Structure 1
Protein backbone atom coordinates (compact mmCIF):
# COMPACT_ATOMS: atom_id res chain seq x y z
CA UNK A 1 0.00 0.00 0.00
CA UNK A 2 1.39 3.41 -0.98
CA UNK A 3 1.52 6.42 1.33
CA UNK A 4 -1.24 8.06 -0.71
CA UNK A 5 -3.46 4.99 -0.30
CA UNK A 6 -2.80 5.01 3.44
CA UNK A 7 -3.59 8.72 3.82
CA UNK A 8 -6.91 8.26 2.05
CA UNK A 9 -8.11 5.61 4.53
CA UNK A 10 -9.51 8.29 6.84
CA UNK A 11 -9.60 12.05 7.46
CA UNK A 12 -7.53 11.97 10.66
CA UNK A 13 -4.32 10.11 11.49
CA UNK A 14 -3.82 10.07 15.26
CA UNK A 15 -0.33 10.94 16.46
CA UNK A 16 0.18 8.57 19.39
CA UNK A 17 2.62 8.94 22.27
CA UNK A 18 2.45 5.59 24.08
CA UNK A 19 4.13 5.60 27.48
CA UNK A 20 3.21 2.05 28.55
CA UNK A 21 3.18 -0.90 26.17
CA UNK A 22 0.10 -2.34 27.92
CA UNK A 23 -1.89 0.64 26.61
CA UNK A 24 -0.99 -0.03 22.98
CA UNK A 25 -3.48 -2.74 22.07
CA UNK A 26 -6.57 -1.39 23.88
CA UNK A 27 -5.82 2.09 22.50
CA UNK A 28 -5.54 0.75 18.96
CA UNK A 29 -8.72 -1.28 19.37
CA UNK A 30 -10.58 1.77 20.66
CA UNK A 31 -9.47 3.87 17.70
CA UNK A 32 -10.28 1.18 15.13
CA UNK A 33 -13.69 0.69 16.73
CA UNK A 34 -14.32 4.38 16.06
CA UNK A 35 -13.39 4.01 12.39
CA UNK A 36 -9.78 5.20 12.61
CA UNK A 37 -7.48 2.57 11.13
CA UNK A 38 -4.27 4.47 10.35
CA UNK A 39 -2.18 4.98 13.48
CA UNK A 40 1.13 6.82 13.85
CA UNK A 41 3.11 5.62 16.85
CA UNK A 42 5.78 8.21 17.55
CA UNK A 43 9.32 7.47 18.66
CA UNK A 44 8.93 9.74 21.66
CA UNK A 45 8.97 6.97 24.26
CA UNK A 46 11.21 3.94 24.85
CA UNK A 47 8.35 1.48 24.27
CA UNK A 48 7.36 2.75 20.82
CA UNK A 49 8.66 -0.19 18.80
CA UNK A 50 7.25 -2.70 21.29
CA UNK A 51 3.90 -0.92 20.98
CA UNK A 52 4.01 -1.24 17.20
CA UNK A 53 4.75 -4.96 17.43
CA UNK A 54 1.93 -5.48 19.93
CA UNK A 55 -0.62 -3.65 17.78
CA UNK A 56 0.50 -5.49 14.66
CA UNK A 57 0.00 -8.82 16.40
CA UNK A 58 -3.34 -8.11 18.06
CA UNK A 59 -5.18 -5.55 15.90
CA UNK A 60 -5.02 -6.72 12.27
CA UNK A 61 -7.37 -3.99 11.02
CA UNK A 62 -4.97 -1.26 12.15
CA UNK A 63 -2.47 0.19 9.67
CA UNK A 64 0.42 1.01 11.97
CA UNK A 65 3.18 3.44 11.13
CA UNK A 66 6.14 4.81 13.03
CA UNK A 67 6.58 8.54 13.41
CA UNK A 68 9.46 10.79 14.38
CA UNK A 69 11.88 9.04 12.02
CA UNK A 70 14.92 11.31 11.96
CA UNK A 71 17.83 8.96 11.16
CA UNK A 72 18.40 6.14 8.68
CA UNK A 73 18.70 3.73 11.63
CA UNK A 74 15.15 4.68 12.65
CA UNK A 75 13.90 3.57 9.24
CA UNK A 76 15.53 0.15 9.57
CA UNK A 77 14.13 -0.29 13.08
CA UNK A 78 10.64 0.71 11.96
CA UNK A 79 10.76 -1.83 9.15
CA UNK A 80 12.01 -4.52 11.55
CA UNK A 81 9.11 -3.76 13.92
CA UNK A 82 6.64 -4.38 11.11
CA UNK A 83 5.59 -0.80 10.43
CA UNK A 84 3.39 -0.35 7.38
CA UNK A 85 4.74 3.15 6.82
CA UNK A 86 6.97 5.81 8.35
CA UNK A 87 6.56 9.51 9.10
CA UNK A 88 9.37 12.05 9.52
CA UNK A 89 9.28 15.61 10.87
CA UNK A 90 11.62 16.73 8.08
CA UNK A 91 13.55 15.25 5.17
CA UNK A 92 17.12 15.00 3.93
CA UNK A 93 18.73 12.79 1.27
CA UNK A 94 20.11 10.05 3.53
CA UNK A 95 16.75 9.55 5.25
CA UNK A 96 14.84 9.44 1.96
CA UNK A 97 17.38 6.99 0.55
CA UNK A 98 17.11 4.75 3.61
CA UNK A 99 13.34 4.58 3.28
CA UNK A 100 13.60 3.73 -0.41
CA UNK A 101 16.22 1.07 0.25
CA UNK A 102 14.15 -0.48 3.04
CA UNK A 103 10.99 -0.41 0.94
CA UNK A 104 9.22 1.53 3.70
CA UNK A 105 6.49 3.88 2.45
CA UNK A 106 7.43 7.26 3.90
CA UNK A 107 5.50 10.44 4.62
CA UNK A 108 8.37 12.96 4.67
CA UNK A 109 8.05 16.17 6.63
CA UNK A 110 8.14 19.53 4.85
CA UNK A 111 7.66 23.13 5.92
CA UNK A 112 8.77 25.29 2.98
CA UNK A 113 8.50 25.23 -0.83
CA UNK A 114 12.18 24.20 -0.97
CA UNK A 115 11.38 21.22 1.27
CA UNK A 116 8.54 20.21 -1.03
CA UNK A 117 10.82 20.46 -4.05
CA UNK A 118 13.38 18.25 -2.28
CA UNK A 119 10.92 15.45 -1.60
CA UNK A 120 9.36 15.75 -5.05
CA UNK A 121 12.81 15.33 -6.60
CA UNK A 122 13.08 12.07 -4.66
CA UNK A 123 9.73 10.89 -6.04
CA UNK A 124 7.40 11.76 -3.16
CA UNK A 125 4.03 13.17 -4.21
CA UNK A 126 2.63 13.10 -0.66
CA UNK A 127 4.24 14.75 2.34
CA UNK A 128 3.57 16.10 5.80
CA UNK A 129 3.36 19.83 6.50
CA UNK A 130 4.94 20.23 9.92
CA UNK A 131 4.48 22.03 12.19
CA UNK A 132 1.33 22.98 10.31
CA UNK A 133 -0.01 25.76 12.53
CA UNK A 134 3.37 27.44 12.88
CA UNK A 135 4.10 27.00 9.16
CA UNK A 136 1.08 29.05 8.14
CA UNK A 137 -1.73 26.53 8.34
CA UNK A 138 -4.57 26.73 5.83
CA UNK A 139 -3.11 29.84 4.20
CA UNK A 140 0.22 28.13 3.59
CA UNK A 141 -1.44 25.09 2.01
CA UNK A 142 -3.52 27.31 -0.26
CA UNK A 143 -0.32 29.03 -1.36
CA UNK A 144 1.43 25.69 -1.93
CA UNK A 145 -1.37 24.51 -4.21
CA UNK A 146 -0.38 27.00 -6.92
CA UNK A 147 3.17 25.83 -7.66
CA UNK A 148 2.52 22.22 -6.56
CA UNK A 149 -1.04 21.41 -7.73
CA UNK A 150 -0.52 17.65 -7.65
CA UNK A 151 1.22 17.46 -4.25
CA UNK A 152 -0.81 15.95 -1.40
CA UNK A 153 -0.31 17.01 2.20
CA UNK A 154 -1.01 15.66 5.66
CA UNK A 155 -0.74 18.75 7.86
CA UNK A 156 0.25 17.92 11.44
CA UNK A 157 1.07 20.06 14.45
CA UNK A 158 -1.28 22.38 16.28
CA UNK A 159 -4.42 20.96 14.66
CA UNK A 160 -7.46 20.03 16.75
CA UNK A 161 -11.07 18.98 16.20
CA UNK A 162 -12.12 22.60 15.71
CA UNK A 163 -9.50 23.53 13.11
CA UNK A 164 -9.34 20.19 11.25
CA UNK A 165 -12.37 20.83 8.97
CA UNK A 166 -10.72 23.94 7.54
CA UNK A 167 -7.71 21.88 6.50
CA UNK A 168 -9.78 18.97 5.20
CA UNK A 169 -11.74 21.29 2.91
CA UNK A 170 -8.59 21.98 0.87
CA UNK A 171 -8.07 20.02 -2.36
CA UNK A 172 -4.42 19.27 -1.57
CA UNK A 173 -5.06 17.84 1.91
CA UNK A 174 -5.49 14.07 2.05
CA UNK A 175 -5.89 13.92 5.83
CA UNK A 176 -4.67 15.66 8.97
CA UNK A 177 -2.55 14.40 11.83
CA UNK A 178 -3.50 15.16 15.41
CA UNK A 179 -3.00 14.12 18.99
CA UNK A 180 -6.48 15.02 20.21
CA UNK A 181 -7.83 11.51 19.53
CA UNK A 182 -5.77 9.99 22.34
CA UNK A 183 -5.44 12.50 25.19
CA UNK A 184 -2.92 11.39 27.80
CA UNK A 185 -5.47 11.58 30.62
CA UNK A 186 -7.91 9.27 28.85
CA UNK A 187 -5.18 6.79 27.94
CA UNK A 188 -3.81 6.66 31.49
CA UNK A 189 -7.35 6.23 32.85
CA UNK A 190 -8.07 3.45 30.36
CA UNK A 191 -11.20 5.26 29.19
CA UNK A 192 -11.33 3.45 25.87
CA UNK A 193 -15.03 4.21 25.16
CA UNK A 194 -14.24 7.94 25.33
CA UNK A 195 -11.40 7.47 22.83
CA UNK A 196 -13.71 5.50 20.53
CA UNK A 197 -16.16 8.41 20.68
CA UNK A 198 -13.39 10.84 19.70
CA UNK A 199 -12.44 8.54 16.83
CA UNK A 200 -16.03 8.35 15.61
CA UNK A 201 -16.27 12.14 15.61
CA UNK A 202 -12.97 12.40 13.72
CA UNK A 203 -14.07 9.82 11.15
CA UNK A 204 -17.14 11.94 10.41
CA UNK A 205 -15.12 15.09 9.61
CA UNK A 206 -15.02 14.16 5.93
CA UNK A 207 -17.64 12.02 4.16
Structure 2
Protein backbone atom coordinates (compact mmCIF):
# COMPACT_ATOMS: atom_id res chain seq x y z
CA UNK A 1 0.00 0.00 0.00
CA UNK A 2 1.09 3.55 -0.71
CA UNK A 3 0.45 4.55 2.87
CA UNK A 4 2.90 1.87 4.02
CA UNK A 5 5.57 3.39 1.77
CA UNK A 6 4.87 6.87 3.05
CA UNK A 7 5.17 5.60 6.59
CA UNK A 8 4.72 8.26 9.23
CA UNK A 9 5.06 11.13 6.75
CA UNK A 10 1.62 12.68 6.47
CA UNK A 11 2.65 15.62 4.32
CA UNK A 12 3.92 14.91 0.81
CA UNK A 13 5.84 17.75 -0.87
CA UNK A 14 4.71 18.00 -4.50
CA UNK A 15 7.79 18.91 -6.51
CA UNK A 16 7.91 20.52 -9.95
CA UNK A 17 11.58 20.76 -10.89
CA UNK A 18 13.05 21.05 -14.37
CA UNK A 19 16.72 21.27 -13.38
CA UNK A 20 18.32 17.99 -12.34
CA UNK A 21 21.38 19.84 -11.03
CA UNK A 22 19.24 21.18 -8.18
CA UNK A 23 17.97 17.76 -7.12
CA UNK A 24 20.81 17.08 -4.66
CA UNK A 25 20.24 20.37 -2.83
CA UNK A 26 16.50 19.75 -2.77
CA UNK A 27 16.92 16.29 -1.30
CA UNK A 28 19.25 17.61 1.37
CA UNK A 29 16.77 20.36 2.28
CA UNK A 30 13.87 17.93 2.61
CA UNK A 31 15.89 15.66 4.89
CA UNK A 32 17.19 18.59 6.92
CA UNK A 33 13.62 19.79 7.41
CA UNK A 34 12.49 16.42 8.72
CA UNK A 35 10.23 15.71 5.75
CA UNK A 36 12.16 13.11 3.72
CA UNK A 37 9.50 12.37 1.13
CA UNK A 38 8.71 13.83 -2.28
CA UNK A 39 6.28 13.42 -5.14
CA UNK A 40 8.12 14.46 -8.30
CA UNK A 41 5.54 15.46 -10.87
CA UNK A 42 5.93 14.32 -14.46
CA UNK A 43 5.22 17.81 -15.80
CA UNK A 44 8.71 18.65 -17.03
CA UNK A 45 11.00 16.99 -19.61
CA UNK A 46 13.60 16.11 -16.96
CA UNK A 47 11.17 14.82 -14.32
CA UNK A 48 12.39 11.22 -14.56
CA UNK A 49 16.00 12.36 -14.23
CA UNK A 50 15.15 14.49 -11.18
CA UNK A 51 13.26 11.58 -9.64
CA UNK A 52 16.16 9.25 -10.30
CA UNK A 53 18.65 11.61 -8.70
CA UNK A 54 16.52 12.00 -5.58
CA UNK A 55 15.85 8.26 -5.43
CA UNK A 56 19.58 7.64 -5.07
CA UNK A 57 19.29 8.89 -1.49
CA UNK A 58 18.61 6.07 0.96
CA UNK A 59 17.10 8.56 3.42
CA UNK A 60 14.41 9.85 1.04
CA UNK A 61 11.13 8.26 -0.11
CA UNK A 62 10.47 9.41 -3.67
CA UNK A 63 7.44 8.83 -5.85
CA UNK A 64 6.16 10.01 -9.21
CA UNK A 65 3.21 12.36 -9.59
CA UNK A 66 0.98 13.49 -12.46
CA UNK A 67 1.35 10.03 -13.98
CA UNK A 68 -1.15 9.73 -16.82
CA UNK A 69 -0.15 6.62 -18.79
CA UNK A 70 1.23 3.12 -18.34
CA UNK A 71 4.33 4.24 -20.25
CA UNK A 72 4.96 6.91 -17.63
CA UNK A 73 4.56 4.26 -14.94
CA UNK A 74 7.38 2.33 -16.61
CA UNK A 75 9.57 5.45 -16.72
CA UNK A 76 8.85 6.21 -13.08
CA UNK A 77 9.62 2.65 -12.04
CA UNK A 78 12.84 2.67 -14.03
CA UNK A 79 13.89 5.90 -12.32
CA UNK A 80 13.40 4.40 -8.87
CA UNK A 81 9.94 5.64 -7.85
CA UNK A 82 8.56 3.92 -4.75
CA UNK A 83 4.97 5.03 -5.33
CA UNK A 84 2.84 6.60 -8.07
CA UNK A 85 0.25 9.36 -7.83
CA UNK A 86 -2.14 10.29 -10.62
CA UNK A 87 -4.49 13.27 -10.97
CA UNK A 88 -7.26 10.97 -12.18
CA UNK A 89 -8.34 7.35 -12.18
CA UNK A 90 -6.91 5.31 -15.06
CA UNK A 91 -7.40 1.57 -14.99
CA UNK A 92 -4.35 1.19 -17.25
CA UNK A 93 -2.15 3.11 -14.81
CA UNK A 94 -3.46 1.16 -11.81
CA UNK A 95 -2.99 -2.20 -13.50
CA UNK A 96 0.53 -1.41 -14.66
CA UNK A 97 1.47 -0.29 -11.16
CA UNK A 98 0.06 -3.53 -9.80
CA UNK A 99 2.11 -5.53 -12.31
CA UNK A 100 5.27 -3.75 -11.18
CA UNK A 101 4.44 -3.90 -7.47
CA UNK A 102 4.22 -0.11 -7.24
CA UNK A 103 1.76 1.39 -4.75
CA UNK A 104 -0.57 3.78 -6.57
CA UNK A 105 -2.83 6.60 -5.40
CA UNK A 106 -5.20 7.68 -8.19
CA UNK A 107 -7.08 10.95 -8.17
CA UNK A 108 -10.84 11.06 -7.60
CA UNK A 109 -13.44 13.68 -6.82
CA UNK A 110 -16.76 11.82 -7.12
CA UNK A 111 -18.51 8.82 -5.60
CA UNK A 112 -18.49 7.11 -9.00
CA UNK A 113 -14.71 7.34 -9.23
CA UNK A 114 -14.32 6.01 -5.69
CA UNK A 115 -16.46 3.01 -6.62
CA UNK A 116 -14.24 2.44 -9.65
CA UNK A 117 -11.16 2.61 -7.44
CA UNK A 118 -12.67 0.07 -5.06
CA UNK A 119 -13.43 -2.23 -7.98
CA UNK A 120 -9.73 -2.08 -8.87
CA UNK A 121 -8.83 -3.19 -5.35
CA UNK A 122 -7.79 0.20 -3.99
CA UNK A 123 -8.80 1.79 -0.71
CA UNK A 124 -6.59 4.91 -0.71
CA UNK A 125 -7.21 7.70 -3.19
CA UNK A 126 -6.06 11.22 -3.93
CA UNK A 127 -8.85 13.77 -3.58
CA UNK A 128 -8.02 16.26 -6.32
CA UNK A 129 -8.27 19.16 -6.78
CA UNK A 130 -9.21 19.31 -3.12
CA UNK A 131 -10.08 22.94 -2.54
CA UNK A 132 -11.80 23.38 -5.90
CA UNK A 133 -14.09 20.43 -5.16
CA UNK A 134 -15.25 21.44 -1.72
CA UNK A 135 -12.30 20.58 0.48
CA UNK A 136 -12.80 18.81 3.77
CA UNK A 137 -16.58 19.18 3.62
CA UNK A 138 -16.72 17.01 0.50
CA UNK A 139 -14.30 14.49 1.97
CA UNK A 140 -16.54 14.15 5.04
CA UNK A 141 -19.57 13.52 2.82
CA UNK A 142 -17.73 10.93 0.74
CA UNK A 143 -16.30 9.26 3.85
CA UNK A 144 -19.81 8.83 5.24
CA UNK A 145 -20.67 6.74 2.18
CA UNK A 146 -17.28 5.01 1.92
CA UNK A 147 -15.89 4.53 5.45
CA UNK A 148 -13.38 2.00 4.16
CA UNK A 149 -11.65 4.59 1.97
CA UNK A 150 -8.84 6.93 2.99
CA UNK A 151 -7.96 10.16 1.22
CA UNK A 152 -4.84 12.15 0.35
CA UNK A 153 -6.24 15.59 -0.56
CA UNK A 154 -4.06 17.64 -2.88
CA UNK A 155 -4.65 20.89 -4.69
CA UNK A 156 -4.86 24.21 -2.90
CA UNK A 157 -3.65 22.81 0.43
CA UNK A 158 -1.75 25.40 2.48
CA UNK A 159 0.37 25.49 5.60
CA UNK A 160 -2.69 26.72 7.48
CA UNK A 161 -5.20 24.19 6.13
CA UNK A 162 -3.03 21.06 6.22
CA UNK A 163 -3.44 20.46 9.99
CA UNK A 164 -7.22 20.86 9.66
CA UNK A 165 -7.37 18.20 6.95
CA UNK A 166 -5.06 15.85 8.82
CA UNK A 167 -7.16 16.05 11.97
CA UNK A 168 -9.94 14.13 10.20
CA UNK A 169 -9.72 10.31 10.38
CA UNK A 170 -10.48 9.94 6.67
CA UNK A 171 -7.29 11.78 5.71
CA UNK A 172 -4.07 9.77 5.77
CA UNK A 173 -1.87 12.45 4.21
CA UNK A 174 -1.99 15.67 2.25
CA UNK A 175 -0.03 16.75 -0.78
CA UNK A 176 1.21 20.32 -0.99
CA UNK A 177 3.75 22.55 -2.65
CA UNK A 178 4.07 25.48 -0.26
CA UNK A 179 7.32 24.14 1.20
CA UNK A 180 8.78 23.44 -2.26
CA UNK A 181 7.28 26.39 -4.14
CA UNK A 182 8.75 26.81 -7.64
CA UNK A 183 10.14 30.25 -6.82
CA UNK A 184 12.08 28.82 -3.88
CA UNK A 185 13.54 26.04 -6.01
CA UNK A 186 14.42 28.40 -8.85
CA UNK A 187 16.19 30.76 -6.45
CA UNK A 188 17.96 27.95 -4.61
CA UNK A 189 16.53 29.00 -1.25
CA UNK A 190 17.26 25.66 0.37
CA UNK A 191 17.33 26.98 3.93
CA UNK A 192 13.79 28.28 3.43
CA UNK A 193 12.67 24.94 1.98
CA UNK A 194 14.08 23.17 5.05
CA UNK A 195 12.48 25.70 7.38
CA UNK A 196 9.06 25.32 5.76
CA UNK A 197 9.34 21.54 5.93
CA UNK A 198 10.23 21.70 9.61
CA UNK A 199 7.32 24.06 10.30
CA UNK A 200 4.94 21.73 8.44
CA UNK A 201 6.06 18.76 10.52
CA UNK A 202 5.65 20.71 13.74
CA UNK A 203 2.17 21.92 12.81
CA UNK A 204 0.86 18.44 12.11
CA UNK A 205 2.45 16.54 14.99
CA UNK A 206 -0.07 16.29 17.87
CA UNK A 207 2.56 16.02 20.63
CA UNK A 208 4.34 19.10 19.37
CA UNK A 209 1.09 20.97 18.98
CA UNK A 210 0.24 20.21 22.60
CA UNK A 211 3.68 21.16 23.80
CA UNK A 212 3.48 24.52 22.07
CA UNK A 213 -0.05 25.30 23.29
TM-score (ref. length: structure 1) = 0.95
Give the corresponding residue for 2:115. 117
**1:6 CA displacement:** 2.9
Contact 2:126–2:152 (8 Å) recurs in 1: yes
Q: Aligned equivalents of 1:150 and 1:7: distance in 2?
A: 19
Residue aligning to 2:169: 171
Residue equivalent to 2:35: 36
* Distance in 2, Cα, partners of 1:151 & 1:205: 25
Instruction: Write 1 or 2 for the structure with the bigger share of helix.
Output: 2
- CA apart distance, 1:44: 0.8
Structure 1 match to 2:210: none
CA deviations 1:86-108 (Å, max 9, x no partner) are 10001122221111112211111
Q: In 2, are the aligned partners of 1:7 and 1:174 still within 8 Å (CA)? A: no
Per the TM alignment, residue 190 of structure 1 is displaced from its structure 2 partner at its CA by 1.3
Q: Tell me the secondary structure at the aligned position of residue 43 of structure 2.
A: coil
Q: CA RMSD in A?
A: 1.1
Cα drift, residue 139 of structure 1: 0.2
Q: Distance in 1 between matches of 2:189 and 2:91?
A: 42
Give runs of aligned pairs for residues 55-66 of structure 1, distance below 5 A.
55-57=54-56, 59-66=57-64
Unaligned 5+ residue runs, structure 1? Answer: none
By relative contact order (CA 8 Å, sep 6+), the higher-ranking structure is 1
Q: What residue in structure 2 maps to residue 12 of structure 1?
A: 11
Does residue 108 (structure 1) correspond to residue 106 (structure 2)? The answer is yes
Task: State whether residues 90 and 106 of structure 2, in contact with CA within 8 Å, keep that contact through their aligned partners in structure 1.
Answer: no
Report the equivalent of 1:191: 189
Q: Is 1:47–2:50 an aligned residue pair?
A: no
Describe the SS at the equivalent of 2:115. helix
Residues 108-146 of structure 1: CA deviation (Å, up to 9, x unaligned) = 111111111111111111110000011110100110111
Provide the C-alpha distance between the structure 2 equivalents of 1:179 and 1:134, rounded to a whole number of angstroms.
16
| CA–CA distance in structure 2, aligned partners of residues 31 and 91 of structure 1 | 29
Number of equivalences: 205
Q: Secondary structure at the match of 1:65?
A: strand
When structure 1 is superposed on structure 2, of 71-80 and 3-12 the one drifting more is: 3-12
Consecutive unaligned residues in structure 2, runs of 5 or more: 206-213
> How far apart in 1 are the matches of 2:72 and 2:161?
31
Deviation at residue 206 of structure 1 after TM alignment: 2.1
